[in-house]
Structure 1
Amino acid sequence: MDKALPDGEHRRLPDLGIAIKSIVGFWVLYFALTTVRSVVVQYPDFWEMMARRSCVSLAGIFITFLLYLALRPIAAKSLNVKAAVAAVLCLPAAIAYASVNYYAFYVYAPLNAVKQEQERNSMGWSPLEMAARSILDSSFAWFFLFAAWAAFYVAMSYARQLRVADRHAAMLAREAQEAQLRALRYQINPHFLFNTLNSLSSLILSKRTDTAEQMLMNLSTFFRATLSADPTADVSLDEEIKLQRLYLDIEQIRFPERLTVEVDVPEALQSARVPVLILQPVVENAVKYGVARSRKHVTVRISAHEEAGRLHIKVKDDGEVPAEEGGEGGTGVGLRNVCDRLTARFGSRAGCLSGPDPDGGYTVHLYMPVVRNG
């Protein structure tokens, strides 16, 4: 788990802070409780005992830190493995601490109270036997203290690893979504560019240079705006409409007698945020199927309204019904592109509907949550 940690988490001792705080906390608590107990029972030689208890507690901190270092190689193992290894390692740690504790209180300049206790419990044993018995007896008590710290540390360390893993998974999910949005965003219909260049060639050959220059300037402005836009960003609906007007201005030069554009967006919705160029494939299809294939005048109408906290955008043309988008043999790549982008951005809260309009022509209806100042 430590091998793929984001944002500087990949360190040799990533949970060192948890270990140090828990170790110091455990031993400070032990020191405080034993000191209070000494005061309550009025244990003799209080200050000398407290000095030695301080030294023994420092030794306990050191031994517990060694236990932490011994647990680090299995940091990536399962929780059950960590618990089992910690239980085994706590026994030598407890014996080591019991030995230090015995030396501090019973070997190094024993106090009078300690000497009296030794005499009561000697039972005729040799000093070595007494030391071994005392160390083993106290080791079992100290084992539970080390086991308690180890359980706390393993639990906190595992919780930290889960949080890091969750952040990593969330980061990967965001990156995957952004990659998907970029892939969908750049699926721009190349026919638009080819048709525009062909129209430019025809205008130049017919010496309509002013019209050709205007078309070329619109094309340059449109591609500068679209290619520089962040495919994962949101823009205001007003900005999105302006981008579509740039595209439609180019197409109006191609179809001067056949294409009319109408926009009906309330002022209150102009600041609503939408995925950049979300309307582009829809408007392209309206021109490709509704205008280019029609022999009559066609109006492309973009409208928007708000209902129940959702933004509804409709792109309608009154041209021929596009078989490729609405018929059985159609692929609907452009519309699927838009639907996929909406789903990637808003999930089940957004979607799209399309089909022949009862009043004639074809309508694409997009809906998404109303987002402002995003």
Structure 2
Amino acid sequence: MIGKVRAGFRDTPLGPAAVIWSFGYLLLDAIAFLIGRAAPGVTLLASLPMFALGVGQTIALNHLRTGPVLQSAWLRWPALVVAVVAATAVQTLFDVYWMRFLAENLFPAWQEWALDIDLQRLLTVGFGYAWTFCLALTLLAAMRAAQDNARRAANAETEAANAVSAALRLQLNPHFLFNTLNSISGLVTLDRKQEAESMIDRLAEFLRASLNADPIEDVMLAHEIDTIDAYLHIESARFGDRLEIQIDLAPGTEDAKVPNFILQPLVENAIKHGVSALQGTALLYISAAREGDMLMLTVVNSSPESNGESSRPPAGTGVGLANSRQRLANRYGGKASLETGPVGDRYRATIRMPFLT
């Protein structure tokens, strides 16, 4: 509650207007003390009604300047000048007659100067108030311009991050499509037409799920797993019994929101560097679990290094993993991470991200 009040005071015209008028009356109190007119704080207390009136009129003037009533600049500025003159006159008359009232009833020592209301005093007091109103309106205009610029910059940054995420997400499909078409071509060359037709059907199913999804929108984990399952159906046609797939989703994780296609590069890397590099059966294990307010997505595959059959490239050198890390950074900042590395005779990639539903 206190934070909301503080933010409202800071981010609305009330805060700057109150600061400007407070500074003006503090300065007036200091001058009154230095010339021996009143003890410290007395003039400041006496000025509280004028302070409230000044802040109120400043907010009203600012509303006139920014409101929809005066749309045309040719009309706005003359009307604003007239309004400032009127506000200055009201503030000046209230000041001199309020001080006269205090001199007559509470502070007899002030009668020497407060009872004398002439043109010179009115002009002097009026000039000070006109200056204060103009200064306040200028600072409020500058503050609003700064807020508008900050808002536009934030929107531009968000749009740029979304564009980058979309571009990174869409980079995945051509790589996968190239590999799949090569596989289909190989099946046709080997006269395995039925298998080639089956792979084409599964490819169409996968591309339909992929292209219908917004690349920058989050999806439910269940939907992500369905898309991965369609992808794995294609790979199963390539590897047959050599590919053993296990998917384990902890209860309650299916409804978690995840970036669209965030698992695709991890699964694709597992196929490329694990299953493809092994001569025998390879395991691909996909799991999801919740740890507090974090979601853990894990992809584990058999590693060819354990059998001395092949060597795996260093973690993070591929486009897929680099893109995944960048997408996580764009979406969650430092709250998400992607860690890869060997675990025993297997290789594991783990994504940590906030658990959101």
Name the aligned partner's letter for residue 260 of structure 1.
E
Equivalent residue number for residue 31 of structure 1: 90
Equivalent residue number for residue 199 of structure 1: 183
- What is the percent sequence identity of the aligned residues? 33
Once the two structures are overlaid, the 10-residue window that deviates more, 226-235 or 267-276, is: 226-235
SS across alignment from 2:252: helix
Equivalent residue number for residue 265 of structure 1: 249
Equivalent residue number for residue 57 of structure 2: none
Distance 1:314 1:26, change over 3 A: farther
Deviation per residue, 1:178-235 (Å, 9 max, x gap): 1221222122264532332232233334554433222111111212222332221100
Equivalent residue number for residue 353 of structure 2: 368
Distance 1:25 1:308, change over 3 A: farther
CA distance in 1, matches of 2:82, 2:347: 71
SS across alignment from 1:362: strand
Q: Which has the larger radius of gyration?
A: 1
Runs of 5+ consecutive residues of structure 2 not aligned to the other structure: 1-70, 102-117
Q: How many positions carry a matched residue from both structures?
A: 267
Distance 1:38 1:335, change over 3 A: closer
Distance 1:351 1:35, change over 3 A: closer
Could you tell me whether the CA contact under 8 Å between 1:316 and 1:361 is conserved in 2?
yes
Equivalent residue number for residue 326 of structure 1: 314
Name the aligned partner's letter for residue 34 of structure 1.
L
SS across alignment from 2:241: coil
Deviation per residue, 1:135-171 (Å, 9 max, x gap): x775444321220110110111111111101101111
Matched, 1:157 2:141: yes
Distance 1:157 1:193, change over 3 A: same
CA distance in 2, matches of 1:235, 1:286: 22
Could you tell me whether the CA contact under 8 Å between 1:324 and 1:332 is conserved in 2?
no
Could you tell me whether the CA contact under 8 Å between 1:324 and 1:331 is conserved in 2?
no
Name the aligned partner's letter for residue 366 of structure 1.
I
TM-score by length of 2: 0.66
Deviation at 1:335, TM superposition (A): 1.4
Equivalent residue number for residue 231 of structure 1: 215
1:275-286 aligned at under 5 Å gives the runs 275-286=259-270
Could you tell me whether the CA contact under 8 Å between 2:262 and 2:324 is conserved in 1?
yes
CA distance in 2, matches of 1:299, 1:23: 81
Could you tell me whether the CA contact under 8 Å between 1:309 and 1:370 is conserved in 2?
yes
CA distance in 2, matches of 1:259, 1:308: 33
1:114-153 aligned at under 5 Å gives the runs 139-153=123-137
Could you tell me whether the CA contact under 8 Å between 2:88 and 2:129 is conserved in 1?
no
SS across alignment from 1:363: strand
Equivalent residue number for residue 239 of structure 2: 255
Deviation at 1:267, TM superposition (A): 3.1
Could you tell me whether the CA contact under 8 Å between 2:250 and 2:290 is conserved in 1?
no
SS across alignment from 2:298: strand
CA distance in 2, matches of 1:182, 1:345: 11
Could you tell me whether the CA contact under 8 Å between 1:244 and 1:279 is conserved in 2?
yes
Could you tell me whether the CA contact under 8 Å between 1:326 and 1:356 is conserved in 2?
no
CA distance in 1, matches of 2:202, 2:342: 31
CA distance in 2, matches of 1:369, 1:260: 30
- From 167, 170, 174, the equivalent of 2:151 is 167
Over aligned residue pairs, what C-alpha RMSD do you find?
3.4
Matched, 1:245 2:304: no
Name the aligned partner's letter for residue 352 of structure 2.
Y
SS across alignment from 1:299: strand
Could you tell me whether the CA contact under 8 Å between 1:22 and 1:153 is conserved in 2?
no
Equivalent residue number for residue 311 of structure 1: 295
Name the aligned partner's letter for residue 158 of structure 1.
A
CA distance in 2, matches of 1:310, 1:39: 63
